[in-house]
Structure 1
Amino acid sequence: MRDTWTKPVILALEAPGKFTTIHNATEASWAMIEDWPLEDGPALDRALLICAAVAEGKKSPEDARRAFVAAALEAGIETKS
């Protein structure tokens, strides 16, 4: 998969302490659309746009990873890296 990250992001989406591993921009997009605790926020909006740009070949997968981590911080989601 061309959007795979060099290092996955591990975060608690469903409940504190229950971790999910996200490997790429596609999985990140689905997580932010389906499972995110916030419906709106600047970092979330930016991460969604960057993940879409990765699919179009306009941004790097690592740009999406950084934006996804920022969106998780904005949402107060527990992460492990």
Structure 2
Amino acid sequence: MSRRDIPWSHRLDVTLRAGMDRTFRSVYEALDFLENEWPLKSGEYYDRAVLACRQALNGLAPSETAREAFIAACLEAGMPAR
């Protein structure tokens, strides 16, 4: 898998479960968070987000598709995204 970073057109601010905000600006940042810091390592939208991010990094899907999948996973995990 290619680990080149692909920036999103707009940053994404997520409120973590601890109440802190975190900003994501790219596909790789989102995938790294999903794989290493995610509070729930399961869920339909979590799985879709991981797949979409990997596909985007490999040039098989648009970065905005990965962004939307990441937003859905955040909502599934109870972390509002804006």
TM over 0.5: yes
Residue from 26, 44, 47 that aligns with 2:46: 44
Contact 1:50 1:59 in 2 (8 A): yes
When the two chains are superposed, the root-mean-square deviation of aligned CA atoms in Å is 1.4
Q: Any unmatched runs of 5+ in structure 2?
A: none
CA distance in 2, matches of 1:41, 1:4: 25
Partner residue, 1:27? 29
Residues 1-81 of structure 1 aligned to structure 2 (within 5 Å): 3-13=6-16, 15-16=18-19, 18-79=20-81, 81=82
- Between 1:4-13 and 1:22-31, the stretch displaced more is 4-13
Question: Offset at 1:14?
Answer: 5.9
Consecutive aligned runs of 4 or more in structure 1 exceeding 2 Å deviation: none
Q: Any unmatched runs of 5+ in structure 1?
A: none
1:65 counterpart letter in structure 2: R
Contact 2:14 2:23 in 1 (8 A): yes
Identity %: 34
TM-score, normalised with respect to structure 2: 0.88
Contact 2:15 2:79 in 1 (8 A): yes
TM-score, normalised with respect to structure 1: 0.88
Contact 2:13 2:23 in 1 (8 A): yes
